Amino acid sequence: MGVTLWIDWILSLDLIVLNFLSYNLLFFGVVVVIVLQFLSTPYGRYARGGWGAGVNARVAWFVQEIPAFVVPLLLVYFTECPKLEFTPNKILLGLYLFHYFQRSIIFPFLIRGGKPTPFIPFVLAFVFCGCNGYLQSAYIVKHADFGNKWMWNSRFYLGIILFCLGMFTNIQADHILRNLRKPGETGYKIPKGGMFEYVSGANFFGEIVEWLGFAVANGSLPAYSFFFFTLCNIGPRAVHHHRWYCEKFEDYPRQRKALIPFIL
């Protein structure tokens, strides 16, 4: 009985930490979206001085994203995961790991060239991925009380469909961007094909839809706070990209929107 009470106390304390992290994501999402109305995130085409020494693009992407993949694996391997016996929990954790396997293991080694990432944004991304990796996975494997009945909930399947469509759109958009320039070419070109026919930030649109789907399938505060922060963080970047394209290219398609097809 004493052991059971001890475990219950640990889990209740852990849930307090997860709620704290979730509300921080919501708070900082609001802060970020306000700041990004006046500034652009200083990496990629917007990289500028004052943010630390540059880190090789491939190295930066791998190192900053890998905590989001490794932390859940360490959590599963070294701690008790009472909710992982249920199929919905396994599927949701699998979706999360699938995204970050692609983002941390595959994507960095497909980068062609790429401007160095300033050190400060690199460190902030590393910390975020570590904290969010714990937040999302700990909730799923220790607290998410779905039970197998969640398998019969239409919201679960709607979320999975949105997640898969978003991830496909994101990967396709990244592929289009990588192949804009032929070997030896430099400079920027107008992306065409896929969701780029509708929005300038097709890769951002795909990732936002992806995490919206994850939140719908999950239905939890941690998942929705992650979706909200993602929207606040990369949504403005899509707007900045759209404005940049329109200013740089006179023949840029005027029917394209920045982030949401036909709307924004």
Note whether 208 and 166 are within 8 A (CB): yes
Specify if 126 maps to a domain.
Answer: yes
In whole angstroms, how large is the CA radius of gyration of the chain?
20
The pLDDT score that the predictor gives to residue 5 is: 45
Structure tokens, 12: 């209740």
The pLDDT score that the predictor gives to residue 184 is: 65
CA distance 151 to 162: 16
CA distance 227 to 113: 29
- Mean pLDDT in runs of 10 for the chain (264 residues)? 46 81 96 87 68 83 95 91 91 96 92 82 93 95 87 94 97 91 74 92 96 96 97 92 88 91 87
The pLDDT score that the predictor gives to residue 106 is: 93
pLDDT tens, residue by residue, 247-258: 888 888 989 999
Specify if 62 maps to a domain.
Answer: yes
Name the pTM for this structure. Answer: 0.90
Specify if 263 maps to a domain.
Answer: no
Residue type, 235: G
Specify if 260 maps to a domain.
Answer: no
Q: Are strands 54-55 and 117-118 parallel, antiparallel or unpaired?
A: antiparallel
CA distance 36 to 232: 9
Specify if 198 maps to a domain.
Answer: yes
1-5's contacts with Cβ under 8 Å and 24+ in sequence apart are none
The pLDDT score that the predictor gives to residue 111 is: 84
Note whether 2 and 206 are within 8 A (CB): no
Q: Please report the DSSP string for 124-174 in residue order.
A: HHHHHHHHHHHHHHHIIIII----GGGGG-HHHHHHHHHHHHHHHHHHHHH
Number of structural domains in the chain: 1
Residue numbers of the domain that contains 184: 2-248
Specify if 257 maps to a domain.
Answer: no
Residue among 256, 246, 254, 213 at smallest CA distance from 231: 213
Write the CB contacts of 193 (distance below 8 Å, at least 6 apart in sequence).
176
Specify if 170 maps to a domain.
Answer: yes
Specify if 255 maps to a domain.
Answer: no
